Chains A and B, each alone.
Chain A
Amino acid sequence: MTDTDETPDGDDVTRRWLIRALVALGLGIPVAIEGATLVGLVESWLFGDGENGDAAASTTTASEPVTAVGDDLLPTTDRAETLAEATVYARDDGWRFDLTVDVENRGDRPYELRLGTVTTQDGARVEGGASTGRLAAGESVSLSASYDLPDGETPSTMSVVGVESVESGGERFTRRDVRFGNVPVRG
Chain B
Amino acid sequence: MAFVDKFPNEAKLVRWHFGVGFIALAIGGLFGLVQALYRTGYFRDALPIDASQYYTVLTGHGVLLALVFTTFLICGFFVWAVTRSLDRQLAHQRVAWVGFLSMLVGTVLAALTILNGFAPEIPFGSADVLYTFYAPLQAHPAFYVGAALLIVGSWIVGAEYFLTYREWRADNPDERIPLQTFMVLATFIMWYLSSLGVAVEVLAFLIPWSLGWISQVDPLLTRTLFWYFGHPVVYFWLLPAYLAWYTILPKLAGGKLFSDPLARIVFVLFVLLSTPVGFHHQYTDPGIAEGFKFIAMTNTFMLLLPSLLTAFTVVASLEHGARQRGAKGYFGWLRALPWGQPAFSAMALAGLVFAAGGFSGMINAGMNINYLIHNTIWVPGHFHLTVGTAFALTMMGVSYWLVPQITGKQLQHKTIAAVQPFVWVVGMTLMSNAMHRGGLAGLPRRTAKPLFRGEGAAPFDPVVGSIAEMQLQIALGGTLLFVALAMFLVVMTGTWLSRSGVGQLSVNGTIPSPLSGPADSPRILDNLKVWAGIAVVLVIIAYGLPLYSMLADGILSPGAGLLAPLLGL
- Which residue of B422, B465, B466 is within 8 Å of A22 (Cβ)? B422
**Taking A34-B433, A44-B463 as contacts, is the C-beta distance between A3 and B401 under 8 angstroms?**
yes
Q: Which residue of B lies closest to A119 (CB)?
A: B454
B426 and A30 contact, CB distance less than 8 A: yes
Interface of A is mostly: helix
Return chain A residues, CB-CB under 8 Å to B349.
26
Question: What sequence of 0s and 1s flags, for each residue 82-115 of chain A, a beta carbon within 8 Å of any chain B beta carbon?
Answer: 0000000010100000000000000000000000
Return chain A residues, CB-CB under 8 Å to B421.
26
Return chain B residues, CB-CB under 8 Å to A25.
422, 426
B510 and A34 contact, CB distance less than 8 A: no
A3 and B507 contact, CB distance less than 8 A: yes
B429 and A30 contact, CB distance less than 8 A: yes
Interface of B is mostly: loop
A5 and B433 contact, CB distance less than 8 A: no
Q: Which residue of B lies closest to A23 (CB)?
A: B339
- Which residue of A18, A22, A33, A44 is within 8 Å of B433 (Cβ)? A33
Q: Which residue of A lies closest to B508 (CB)?
A: A3
Q: Which residue of A lies closest to B337 (CB)?
A: A23
B512 and A33 contact, CB distance less than 8 A: no
B231 near A: Cβ within 8 Å? no
A152 and B429 contact, CB distance less than 8 A: no
Min CB distance B332 to A, Å, is 14
A1 and B512 contact, CB distance less than 8 A: yes
Question: What sequence of 0s and 1s flags, for each residue 178-190 of chain B, a beta carbon within 8 Å of any chain A beta carbon?
Answer: 0000000000000
A2 and B254 contact, CB distance less than 8 A: yes
Min CB distance A84 to B, Å, is 23
**Taking A22-B419, A40-B463, A52-B462 as contacts, is the C-beta distance between A34 and B429 under 8 angstroms?**
yes
CA distance A76 to B488 in the complex (A): 64
**Taking A3-B401, A152-B51 as contacts, is the C-beta distance between A41 and B463 under 8 angstroms?**
yes
Size bracket of the A interface: 35 or more
Min CB distance B427 to A, Å, is 10
Return chain B residues, CB-CB under 8 Å to A156.
453-454
CA distance A17 to B496 in the complex (A): 29
B452 near A: Cβ within 8 Å? yes
B452 and A2 contact, CB distance less than 8 A: no
Q: Which residue of A lies closest to B429 (CB)?
A: A30
CA distance A92 to B512 in the complex (A): 61
Min CB distance A41 to B, Å, is 6
A166 near B: Cβ within 8 Å? no
CA distance A54 to B102 in the complex (A): 58
A63 near B: Cβ within 8 Å? yes
B396 near A: Cβ within 8 Å? no
B461 and A5 contact, CB distance less than 8 A: no
B464 near A: Cβ within 8 Å? yes
CA distance A59 to B460 in the complex (A): 11
**Taking A30-B429, A152-B50 as contacts, is the C-beta distance between A3 and B340 under 8 angstroms?**
no
B425 and A152 contact, CB distance less than 8 A: no
Min CB distance A38 to B, Å, is 9
CA distance A37 to B473 in the complex (A): 13
CA distance A49 to B430 in the complex (A): 23
CA distance A53 to B466 in the complex (A): 11
**Taking A3-B343, A33-B433, A151-B52 as contacts, is the C-beta distance between A18 and B418 under 8 angstroms?**
yes
B558 near A: Cβ within 8 Å? no
Return chain A residues, CB-CB under 8 Å to B423.
26
**Taking A22-B422, A23-B339 as contacts, is the C-beta distance between A6 and B506 under 8 angstroms?**
yes
A127 near B: Cβ within 8 Å? no
Return chain A residues, CB-CB under 8 Å to B466.
52
Min CB distance B390 to A, Å, is 15
B414 and A5 contact, CB distance less than 8 A: yes
Min CB distance A31 to B, Å, is 9
A19 near B: Cβ within 8 Å? yes
B243 near A: Cβ within 8 Å? no
Number of residues on chain B facing chain A (CB within 8 A): 52
A60 near B: Cβ within 8 Å? yes
Q: Which of B317-331 contact A (CB under 8 A)?
A: 321, 325
**Taking A3-B252, A19-B340, A33-B433 as contacts, is the C-beta distance between A154 and B452 under 8 angstroms?**
yes
Q: Which residue of A lies closest to B248 (CB)?
A: A3
Min CB distance A83 to B, Å, is 18
Question: What sequence of 0s and 1s flags, for each residue 45-75 of chain A, a beta carbon within 8 Å of any chain B beta carbon?
Answer: 0000100110010011001000000000000
CA distance A22 to B52 in the complex (A): 40
Question: What sequence of 0s and 1s flags, for each residue 172-185 of chain A, a beta carbon within 8 Å of any chain B beta carbon?
Answer: 00000000001000
A2 and B253 contact, CB distance less than 8 A: yes
Question: What sequence of 0s and 1s flags, for each residue 150-163 of chain A, a beta carbon within 8 Å of any chain B beta carbon?
Answer: 01111010000000
CA distance A18 to B422 in the complex (A): 12
A2 and B338 contact, CB distance less than 8 A: yes
- Which residue of B52, B343, B437 is within 8 Å of A90 (Cβ)? B52
Q: Which residue of B lies closest to A154 (CB)?
A: B452
Return chain B residues, CB-CB under 8 Å to A37.
433, 437, 464-465
Question: What sequence of 0s and 1s flags, for each residue 247-267 of chain B, a beta carbon within 8 Å of any chain A beta carbon?
Answer: 000011110000000000000
B506 and A5 contact, CB distance less than 8 A: yes
B121 near A: Cβ within 8 Å? no
A29 near B: Cβ within 8 Å? yes
Min CB distance A155 to B, Å, is 10
Return chain B residues, CB-CB under 8 Å to A3.
251-252, 341, 343, 401, 506-508
Min CB distance B479 to A, Å, is 15
A122 and B433 contact, CB distance less than 8 A: no
A121 near B: Cβ within 8 Å? yes
Q: Which residue of B lies closest to A58 (CB)?
A: B458
CA distance A22 to B465 in the complex (A): 27
B277 near A: Cβ within 8 Å? no
Residue numbers of A with Cβ under 8 A of B are: 1-6, 15-16, 18-19, 22-23, 25-27, 29-30, 33-34, 37, 40-41, 44, 49, 52-53, 56, 59-60, 63, 90, 92, 121-122, 151-154, 156, 182
Q: 5 extra interchain contacts, Cβ-Cβ under 8 A, other than A4-B506, A5-B340?
A: A2-B253, A30-B426, A37-B437, A59-B455, A153-B51
Residue numbers of B with Cβ under 8 A of A are: 50-52, 120, 251-254, 321, 325, 338-341, 343, 345, 349, 356, 401, 414-415, 418-419, 421-423, 425-426, 429-430, 433, 437, 448-449, 452-455, 458-466, 506-508, 510, 512
The 9 closest A-B pairs by CB, nearest first: A26-B422, A152-B51, A40-B464, A30-B429, A19-B340, A59-B458, A2-B254, A3-B507, A152-B50
8 contacts between A and B (CB under 8 A): A2-B321, A4-B506, A5-B414, A22-B419, A25-B426, A40-B465, A59-B455, A122-B452
